[in-house]
Amino acid sequence: MTNADIRDRLLAERRPYNEVTTPEGAGVYAFFLSPRGLLLPIAPGAEGLLYIAASRDGHAARQQYDMPTADSPLRQTLAAVLRNHLGLHPAVTPSKAADSFGLPHDGETLLSRWMRANLIGSAIAAESDNHAKFEAGLVAEMQPPLNLTGWENPQADLLRKFRATSLRLAEEAARAVA
């Protein structure tokens, strides 16, 4: 299956949260913005594409809607961009990487609700011997704006700034409580 075939299948399989199919085993998933323009100042890619990833677990697309923000680069980036709009308060997650942050329970709920209302997901089965290389090829070709590496993303610096601000706020909040 070529990258063009995968792109076409991801576009054809776009569904709201409760209808996203989950392939058994390895696959590719993507998130698209709908309706366009609700993630300002970030401009979505072609067809509203925001993010793409390869996974060994076909359920990864549906899990993104509810998993802890600290465990998901996608959710961290969305939380950073939507921090003011949704009134999110980033929190330090001691067991995670130093450049990672999470959200308190109410923030997780708000972000999950926003994702269900504003994102369309897609997941398809796709086997690969090298998931990292496979994902890198798709990111380079499809250029999803929330993927911060793998292509010359003109929005990457802004997204990194949003994430750095959220991490700084999480660290300041942790120091204020300590």
Residues 29, 52 contacting (CB under 8 angstroms): yes
3-state secondary structure of 167: helix
Confidence of residue 30 (pLDDT cuts 50, 70, 90): very high
**Start-to-end C-alpha separation, the chain:** 53
- Identify the pLDDT of residue 24: 79
With 0.75 as the threshold, say if the pTM is over it: yes
Q: Please state, for a pLDDT cut of 70, what percent of the chain lies above it.
A: 93
Domain chopping of the chain, boundaries: 3-177
Look at 177 and 88; give whichever has higher pLDDT. 88
Structure token digits, residue 41:
């100042």
Could you give the angle at the alpha carbon of 65 between the alpha carbons of 95 and 43, nearest 5°?
A: 100
Confidence of residue 52 (pLDDT cuts 50, 70, 90): very high
- Identify the pLDDT of residue 55: 83
Structure token digits, residue 1:
């299956």
Statement: residue 59 has pLDDT above 80? no
Statement: residue 60 has pLDDT above 90? no
Statement: residue 127 has pLDDT above 80? no
CA dist 166 and 173 (Å) reads: 11
Question: Tens of pLDDT along 128-144?
Answer: 766 777 788 899 999 99
Confidence of residue 162 (pLDDT cuts 50, 70, 90): very high
Q: CB burial class (10 A; 0-12, 13-18, 19+) of residue 53? A: buried
User: b/e per residue, 119-139, with b = 16+ CB within 10 A?
Assistant: bbbbbbebebeebeebbbbbb
Look at 3 and 112; give whichever has higher pLDDT. 112
- Rounded to the nearest integer, the mean pLDDT of the chain is 88
Mean pLDDT of 146-160: 95
